[in-house]
């Protein structure tokens, strides 16, 4: 925090998953605008995000990222340390939603259910596993997991998504208790519907 009360991330390094567009892109831009170096990852090309961050004078590195693959998550964390020397923050934004087929719960394809859990829940766990060692080494940090009001509301006809985001809230609470002693904060935000 700077003297005037404004947040400053000068000298900090943040990872943002699902950063090729939408909320992830906005998170990356906002962090860079406050002085953080950002490493942006997505299965899609992050070229537009990189251009926006660089145009604003920010430092950025893009990586191809599949959060359902632990080696890919570790490669993102390694890229951050290699490029910027540390990791201070992680925004777990990557998720499946628009690609999922909605409908009655008994009609959900089991493969879609598994994919939602692999990306929306396991992906967060794996990104945390990859980033936390460097945060511990840096003396602390912050993790922000993107949940959804779907979990709080109990959104019907997308039970795979709703359940996965409920799991994100539980994961966040448990991890916060586990990592607090290491000065690593873990919080969740629950956005409503966002047009992306």
Cβ(137)–Cβ(192) under 8 Å? no
Contacting residues for 107 by C-beta, under 8 A, at least 6 apart: none
Contact 168, 121 (CB under 8 A): yes
Where are the strands (E) in 115-178, listed by range?
141-146
Residue of 97, 153, 157, 161 with catalytic role: 161
Q: Within a 10 A sphere around the Cβ of 38, how many other Cβ atoms?
A: 29
Is residue 161 part of the annotated active site? The answer reads: yes
* 127 Cα distance to chain centroid: 8
Sign of the four-CA dihedral 8, 10, 13, 19 = positive
Q: Is 103 left (phi over 0), alpha (psi -120 to 50) or beta?
A: left
Q: Which residues form the catalytic set?
A: 161
């Amino acid at each position: 925090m700077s003297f005037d009360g404004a947040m400053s991330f000068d000298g900090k390094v943040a990872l943002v998953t699902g950063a090729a567009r939408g909320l992830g892109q906005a998170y990356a831009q906002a962090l860079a605008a406050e002085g953080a170096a950002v490493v942006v990852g997505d299965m899609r090309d992050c070229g537009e995000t990189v251009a926006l961050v660089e145009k604003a004078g920010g430092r950025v590195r893009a990586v191809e990222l599949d959060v359902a693959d632990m080696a890919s998550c570790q490669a993102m964390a390694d890229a951050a340390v290699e490029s910027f020397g540390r990791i201070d923050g992680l925004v777990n934004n990557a998720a499946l939603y628009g690609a999922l087929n909605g409908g009655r719960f008994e009609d959900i394809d089991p493969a879609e259910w598994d994919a939602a859990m692999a990306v929306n829940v396991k992906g967060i766990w794996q990104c945390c596993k990859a980033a936390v060692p460097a945060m511990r080494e840096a003396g602390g940090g912050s993790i922000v997991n993107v949940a959804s009001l779907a979990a709080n509301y109990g959104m019907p006809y997308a039970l795979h998504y709703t359940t996965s985001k409920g799991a994100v809230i539980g994961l966040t609470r448990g991890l916060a208790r586990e990592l607090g002693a290491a000065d690593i904060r873990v919080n969740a935000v629950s956005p409503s519907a966002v047009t992306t």
